[in-house]
Structure 1
Amino acid sequence: MTLLRLKFTALILLFLSINSFAQQQNDSVKVIKAGRLIDVEKGKILTNQLILIDHDTIKSIGANLIIPAGATIIDLSDATVLPGLIDCHTHLTVQPGENYYDDIFRKTPVDLAIVAPIYAKRTLEAGFTTCRDVGAAAFIDISLRNAINRGDIPGPRILAATLFIGSTGSHGDLNGFSPYLDWIGPKQMTGVANGVEGVRAQVRYNIKYGAEVIKFGASAGVLTEEESVGAPQFSQEEMNAIVEEAHLWGLKTCAHAHGTIAIKMAVKAGVASIEHGSFLDDEAIKLMKSHGTYLVADIYNDDYILSDYAKHGTPEKIINKEKLVGKAQRLSFQRAVQAGVKIAFGTDAGVYPHGWNGKQFKYMVRFGLTPMQAIQAATINAADLLGWKNKVGSLSKGKYADLIALKDDPLTDITLLEHIPFVMKGGTIYKDELKK
């Protein structure tokens, strides 16, 4: 073999090697052909769009992109593509069981931790690629979040609140025991705190162990046995201290608040969102608008509680409280929408079975939102509330490649969002039933 032929052969081998390497490098590059794409930022539908994804990030979107050599093509040209959905009020570590008291008093944090990955997977496969989890026992939400982030298990991105902060005897403090029965377990693993210094210490404790948002109980609640459903359970000074301390650490706060007075107190304290918001009056709505406070109202689960909870031994007083709250909450939501209060999607998943999150969309539309506004509440608005607008919430350059797809148009039938056939999170497909 002549020297020239040797050189030529070497060049061919080098070219093949480089080409093979380039092909391997493009294994992480994907291009989605989207027949219809819902632009939640502009509130309109785009057609025949290409979405270029590199690893877990969107690199560009447009109708005339050049498809890189070796890119994986995902053909959704017959589908409607929209951002991965966001639920701002979940409890991924719990779900109603067969017996109300067994759930509360007999299950340990280990029981909850074992099933939490199942609930996380169901939530992701329902199209919710991001969740704000607003209260979990024993920091299970932190371990769940970390396992998902490491890629150990499938699940949504989680913004975790850890322990629900509540006063003694409040919605955040299981009551009804004799005072002679000592609580079993490490007492520091509760969110019960009292007084300005006590609540500040609790905020710091939560943050120390991984909280990314602070959740506290401004009012009484429905699914616990205290008599009230909406009375304030912290003083104004205590609420102020919780919010101030969280802000010192750069975190937002959200307040469980059903009652009118408690809602106003929490808004004045500076919370980012009111959870539930069942009894809004004109002053509360005006305050929320002037402070830019989001309303996160779980207006689906009233149906599930009233149809199923009595079957599992839930005390009658709790069922009666739900009857008091359910209709009022939906009417409050409607009035807030009409007044222009900012709305973010949140379901209280865990009060009903996980994976049913999408059932709430039709109620949001029934009580005042347009289909586009309901989708925006679960995408760009929710991302804004979480402080993750630069990461998720819309399909745009530099954000995570989190998206869902449906065969038809959810703007004409919002109930399509109850059954999502295609789910991608971070460029990885976790569900694809469009071909079936």
Structure 2
Amino acid sequence: MRRLLTPILFAAAWLGATSAMAEVQRFAVISSGENVGHLFVDQVGDTVDVDYHVDNNGRGPKHKEHLVLGADGMPRLWTIEGVSLFGARVDERFEQGDGMLRWRSQADSGELPAPAPSLYIANDDSPWSLALYANVLKAAPEQSLDVTPGGRLTLTAVRSQAFGPDALPVTLYRLTGLELQPGYVMLDDAGRMVAEFSGSQITVREGLEATAPELMRMTAALEGERIHALQTQLAHSFDAPVRIRNVRIFQPETGVLSALSSVTVFGDRIAAIVPEPDTPTAGGDYEIDGQGGTLVPGLHDMHSHSTLQTGLFYLGAGVTSVRDMGNANGFLLNLTRDIDQGVAPGPRIVRDGMLEGRSSYSVRTGLLADTLGEALEDVRWYGQRGYRQIKIYNSLHPDWVAPVALEAHRLGMGVTGHVPAFVTPDQAIEAGYGEIAHINQLMLGWLLQPGEDSRTTLRLTAMARAADLDLDSLPVRRTLALMRVKGVALDTTAVALEVLMLSRAGEVPPSAVGYVDHMPIGYQRYRRRSFVDIDSPAVDQTYKAAFQKLLDTVKLLHDGGVQLLPGTDAGTGFTVHRELELYVKAGLTPAEALSLGTLRAEQYLGRDQSLGSIARGKLADLFLVPGDPTQDINAIRHIRMVMKGGVLYFPSEIHQALGIRPFADPVVIQSPKAPEDTAAGAAGESFLFGEGMDDDHGH
């Protein structure tokens, strides 16, 4: 890891380091138009105290920070104490002095010699830290620095403008190198934070809360420009047939690989599949030598929450279809349109509509109903816009579940979701659920006591009780029988539960072992943390035993004929690979897991006539790996090319553009041979990463 070892001398007047004057900054945290927390920053001279508190959907970080800053604006001391998103304890400390850097956090600890100051990137920080980083980077050479404990942070001034009702002069900055997507922070002329707006949650100065929608539009516009430019750069289209030869095809109907074959794609469809050896490529065709690898139908994530940024991550992982399980509805409708028109990169999206009831624990996604009448009207709103299912959430009133399900069914929609608080899975199924979202929402029906509130983090922590669960008990057998009789499916998201139950401070969790060392440093550190409070070896072992019981439940459901829907509740695509690996760890074969993640998912959605397998006339959604995933499910991580509707992407190109170290070399594409080609050029032009693919070749 590179360290900043040379002196950096620059002013930091914004910090007030040379003044003992006290400054108090107050910010509101806004999610979906509602205040869900606060950020208080009190500064006296070079000392800063931060109070960050978020309570959104029954969870959120709550911690206090103390910083002592140097004249250069870099922290010399930084402590953070409190709890993280789901309540895991935070006790982070960084100290710089006597020529040494020392730090400890949930993710890591270490010490290094440091003859010059270095910028420390905190693991459990608040949005205010982006303002701190931005002010340091503004004065750095080329506004870029190597940082501690690793990586490089870069600042870009996006634009300056007047903001808010008082036309405050501000500058918008983009920070890259922290996470998988950029951070955005708005500073005034004195360098003080006005707003941080990196995701769906906005942190903005008190008094400017009404500007949150404008900030969201700014984020969408800035990220839209970036993502659309990447789509132009990374999507490769063809005006002639593309022949992928020397490949075996995974056949999800049987779970076996075909003999060596040649697959030709023209436009967005599979035009032909013939056995190898075949006749040479016809003049005017592109050719890809698959080198004996395996073509797999595009994967499906049956539980996503799509963003502008998730599209490229999904495509890079071979995920060509997702089911969005709840989103900002206007945004999702626009995103679906842009992807369908090829303006934005991303998988095909099936839309489910989130429906929540009003409570102090309400999620601020989708539609929020105060009365049964509003809930029914919300169902009709979704039905009129072509949503496939209604997704019921935690706070919907128990008495509303049956009438909501009835109205959804009347309009031809299915019903899925969390099991609302004080409702059992059996009651939800009897009321009209055709599917349950998340395996913990199913298992809590066997673990919670009457009156316990699943709107809190209990919906996670109570899963520890599964360690002692008897899967042959009457309640378990009764629920499984009901699911079989009613044809109820389960959207498992086992990987999300693995992250929450098996993550340990300072360790790479099992869910991320296959990919985390390829990721930016901020993401790597984020994954090396706990999400629940593990305060003893006994608690650690209890959660591990409980997760094994969860995997046993997956196998029990599969063997009992219950439809499993591989979902992740994440957006990187890498977690889709892990979800299928967990199915194999539970006892399914790799072929069974792959079938569930491809054809079986499309059969469930009623789209298997055009998607889910590689066959003549179907849409060309597929990816190529060098190994045999029916023998080793991990082979699906090493993807050389992906097609979605005949448009080709190189995962190596995608990952490099996103700051990720690639997982596999790309294929080489042989360009068409024109009839007038000389003998010397008859082999055609080959190119890597799309090089040589100019406008004449359909790029």
**Is the structural similarity TM-score above 0.5?**
yes
Query: 2:558 is paired with a residue of what secondary structure?
Result: helix
Q: Deviations over 1:29-53 (max 9, x none)?
A: 2222242111101222101122232
Structure 1 counterpart of 2:351: 160
Structure 2 counterpart of 1:225: none
Structure 2 counterpart of 1:180: none
Deviation at 1:156, TM superposition (A): 0.5
Paired with 2:360 and 2:600, the residues of 1 have a C-alpha distance of 30
Structure 2 counterpart of 1:401: 620
Paired with 1:420 and 1:124, the residues of 2 have a C-alpha distance of 10
Paired with 1:192 and 1:328, the residues of 2 have a C-alpha distance of 34
Structure 2 counterpart of 1:199: 375
Structure 1 counterpart of 2:491: 296
Q: Deviations over 1:48-97 (max 9, x none)?
A: 122232210123323277766533222214211110000100112xxxxx
Which residue of the other structure, out of 474, 482, 486, is the alignment partner of 1:287? Answer: 482
Q: Which has the larger radius of gyration?
A: 2
Deviation at 1:148, TM superposition (A): 0.8
Gaps of 5+ in 1: 1-25, 93-115, 175-188, 221-232
Alignment of 1:262-277 (within 5 A): 262-277=424-439
Paired with 2:420 and 2:240, the residues of 1 have a C-alpha distance of 47
Structure 1 counterpart of 2:632: 413
Which residue of the other structure, out of 193, 203, 216, is the alignment partner of 2:392? Answer: 216
Q: Deviations over 1:108-127 (max 9, x none)?
A: xxxxxxxx322211111111
Q: Deviations over 1:177-227 (max 9, x none)?
A: xxxxxxxxxxxx85222554332211122344553432112x57xxxxxxx
Paired with 1:396 and 1:343, the residues of 2 have a C-alpha distance of 24
Deviation at 1:238, TM superposition (A): 2.6
Deviation at 1:323, TM superposition (A): 5.2
Which residue of the other structure, out of 280, 294, 299, is the alignment partner of 1:80? Answer: 294
Structure 1 counterpart of 2:240: 28
Counterpart AA for 1:202: D
For the structure 1 residues 290 and 272, does the alpha-carbon distance in structure 2 shift closer, same or farther, using more than 3 Å as the test?
A: same
Counterpart AA for 2:240: S
Q: Deviations over 1:238-286 (max 9, x none)?
A: 3333333233333333222498953223323443421113216211111
Which residue of the other structure, out of 336, 339, 357, is the alignment partner of 1:145? Answer: 336
Which residue of the other structure, out of 113, 120, 131, is the alignment partner of 2:322? Answer: 131
For the structure 1 residues 69 and 387, does the alpha-carbon distance in structure 2 shift closer, same or farther, using more than 3 Å as the test?
A: same
For the structure 1 residues 314 and 333, does the alpha-carbon distance in structure 2 shift closer, same or farther, using more than 3 Å as the test?
A: closer
Paired with 1:271 and 1:170, the residues of 2 have a C-alpha distance of 25
Which residue of the other structure, out of 589, 593, 597, is the alignment partner of 1:378? Answer: 597
Q: Deviations over 1:148-191 (max 9, x none)?
A: 111111111111224x21222276436xxxxxxxxxxxxxx852
TM-score (norm 1): 0.72
Structure 2 counterpart of 1:365: 584
Deviation at 1:405, TM superposition (A): 1.0
Q: Does 1:45 align with 2:254?
A: no
Percent of matched pairs sharing the same residue? 26
Structure with bigger RCO (C-alpha 8 Å, 6+ apart)? 1
For the structure 1 residues 393 and 260, does the alpha-carbon distance in structure 2 shift closer, same or farther, using more than 3 Å as the test?
A: farther
Counterpart AA for 1:253: V
Paired with 1:285 and 1:194, the residues of 2 have a C-alpha distance of 33
Query: 1:124 is paired with a residue of what secondary structure?
Result: helix
For the structure 1 residues 360 and 190, does the alpha-carbon distance in structure 2 shift closer, same or farther, using more than 3 Å as the test?
A: closer
Is the CA contact (8 Å cut-off) linking 2:438 and 2:491 kept in structure 1?
A: yes
Which residue of the other structure, out of 252, 255, 258, is the alignment partner of 2:417? Answer: 255
Deviation at 1:408, TM superposition (A): 0.6
Gaps of 5+ in 2: 1-237, 447-475, 506-525, 652-664, 669-699
Is the CA contact (8 Å cut-off) linking 1:172 and 1:191 kept in structure 2?
A: no
Relative to its length, the structure with more strand (as a share) is: 2
For the structure 1 residues 198 and 51, does the alpha-carbon distance in structure 2 shift closer, same or farther, using more than 3 Å as the test?
A: same
Paired with 2:371 and 2:636, the residues of 1 have a C-alpha distance of 44
Structure 1 counterpart of 2:192: none
TM-score (norm 2): 0.46
Deviation at 1:234, TM superposition (A): 3.9
Counterpart AA for 1:303: E
Paired with 1:59 and 1:266, the residues of 2 have a C-alpha distance of 45
Paired with 1:259 and 1:414, the residues of 2 have a C-alpha distance of 37
Counterpart AA for 1:166: E
Is the CA contact (8 Å cut-off) linking 1:88 and 1:132 kept in structure 2?
A: yes
Query: 1:50 is paired with a residue of what secondary structure?
Result: strand
Q: Does 1:121 align with 2:333?
A: no
Relative to its length, the structure with more helix (as a share) is: 1
Paired with 2:264 and 2:630, the residues of 1 have a C-alpha distance of 25
Query: 1:401 is paired with a residue of what secondary structure?
Result: coil
Is the CA contact (8 Å cut-off) linking 2:240 and 2:284 kept in structure 1?
A: no
Paired with 1:362 and 1:173, the residues of 2 have a C-alpha distance of 30
Which residue of the other structure, out of 383, 397, 403, is the alignment partner of 1:241? Answer: 403
Counterpart AA for 1:420: I
Is the CA contact (8 Å cut-off) linking 1:272 and 1:294 kept in structure 2?
A: yes
Is the CA contact (8 Å cut-off) linking 1:166 and 1:173 kept in structure 2?
A: yes
Paired with 1:346 and 1:397, the residues of 2 have a C-alpha distance of 28
Paired with 2:585 and 2:420, the residues of 1 have a C-alpha distance of 21
Is the CA contact (8 Å cut-off) linking 2:504 and 2:529 kept in structure 1?
A: no
Is the CA contact (8 Å cut-off) linking 2:289 and 2:667 kept in structure 1?
A: no
Deviation at 1:398, TM superposition (A): 2.6
Q: Deviations over 1:319-372 (max 9, x none)?
A: x9x95975553332232123221112111115xx55432122221111121111
